[in-house]
Amino acid sequence: MEKITTVTLRQMKERGEKIVMLTGYDFSMTKLLNEAGVEAILVGDSLGMVKLGYETTLPVTVDDIIYHCKAVKRGNSRSLIIADMPFMSYEAGVDEAIANAGKVIKEGGAEAVKIEGGREMAAKIQALVAAKIPVMGHIGLTPQSINQLGGYKVQGRSLDEARRLVDEARVLEAAGVFAIVLECIPAAVAVEITKAVSVPTIGIGAGGGCDGQILVTDDMLGLYGEFKPKFVKRYADLRSQIVDAIRLYKKEVKEAAFPSDEHTY
């Protein structure tokens, strides 16, 4: 099957075909994401919370992202791999943004990067794109700004806020992004943004009117039990299946039922 690129996503928007994205952090899950036909995999800085146990995404480093990107790259065959630029890896200046994004592409094997923020990121996005690094934007609830936003809250509820988000999306498109994540905004606002830009919008908590959807894989598989935002649909409850399997193994070891002859040389 044909390898998915940033151009494929644009073509999907043009023909009205929804784009399916999930997060990926390791080799084995990436193989399953490919097998299931997911079009794009985000090595999200959500890995800080779901894989490393931090309370926020803020402590994640460029090296953390590269480590996980390499594992995803080894498991990937067809999906587009996008890597999150972690907090403070692109804020300080254009040169730092290019150096860190370049490292994520060269060492991690990602094919594009995602950076959070609107108008204030336009110059950096232009510079990254000029340096041949495809960039995905991310507006609405931007978890790296959690200390300024004062919590994980829905954004763009007032008319002014909604207009600002539409404007930010247009600025990102003009700066050269190939797609934009819309996180935690009212569905009607996401529809307006999706109509206002020609690049695909990928929603998470932004309703069904976006060009595609993304969820954190550990959330939708029921692996991450710390909290569940309203927008997460659990398609499986792997956590309890895994605990049941481990309990059964424990029981069989205690009772000397495992290993049986079948598993013994």
DSSP state of 117: B
Does position 45 interact with ligand KIV (CB under 6 A)? The reply is yes
3 state DSSP class of 184: coil
Of 82, 199, 181, 202, residue with least CA distance to 138: 181
Does position 194 interact with ligand KIV (CB under 6 A)? The reply is no
d(CA 12, CA 35): 20
Residues in binding contact with ligand KIV, number by CB under 6 A: 11
Instruction: Tell me the window of 25-33, 37-45, 104-112, 231-239 that interacts with ligand KIV (CB under 6 A).
Output: 37-45
Least distance in angstroms from the C-beta of 252 to ligand KIV? 37
**113 forms bridges with which residues in the sheet?**
83, 135
Q: List binders of ligand KIV among 81-110 (CB under 6 A).
A: 84
**Options 183, 226, 255, 262, the catalytic residue:** 183
Residue type, 179: A
Exactly one of 19, 80, 179, 204 binds ligand KIV (CB under 6 A); that residue is 204
Does position 20 interact with ligand KIV (CB under 6 A)? The reply is no
Nearer to ligand KIV, 36 or 246 (CB): 36
Can you state the angle between helices 62-75 and 27-35, rounded to 10 degrees? 50
Does position 216 interact with ligand KIV (CB under 6 A)? The reply is yes
**Six token digits for residue 145:** 């700004």
Extract the runs of DSSP E, i.e. beta strands, from the chain: 19-23, 40-43, 80-84, 112-114, 135-140, 179-183, 201-204, 212-215
Nearer to ligand KIV, 173 or 219 (CB): 219
Least distance in angstroms from the C-beta of 165 to ligand KIV? 16
Instruction: Tell me the window of 42-50, 86-94, 239-247, 257-265 that interacts with ligand KIV (CB under 6 A).
Output: 42-50
Q: Is the peptide bond before 229 cis (omega within 30 degrees of 0)?
A: no
Binding mask 147-186 for ligand KIV (x = CB under 6 A): ----------------------------------x-x---
Is 161 assigned a catalytic role?
A: no
Nearer to ligand KIV, 209 or 258 (CB): 209
Residue 265 neighbours by CB under 8 Å, 6+ apart: none
Least distance in angstroms from the C-beta of 238 to ligand KIV? 18
For residues 238 and 222, is the Cβ–Cβ distance under 8 A? yes
For residues 215 and 22, is the Cβ–Cβ distance under 8 A? yes
Binding stretches for ligand KIV (CB under 6 A): 23, 42, 44-46, 84, 181, 183, 204, 214, 216
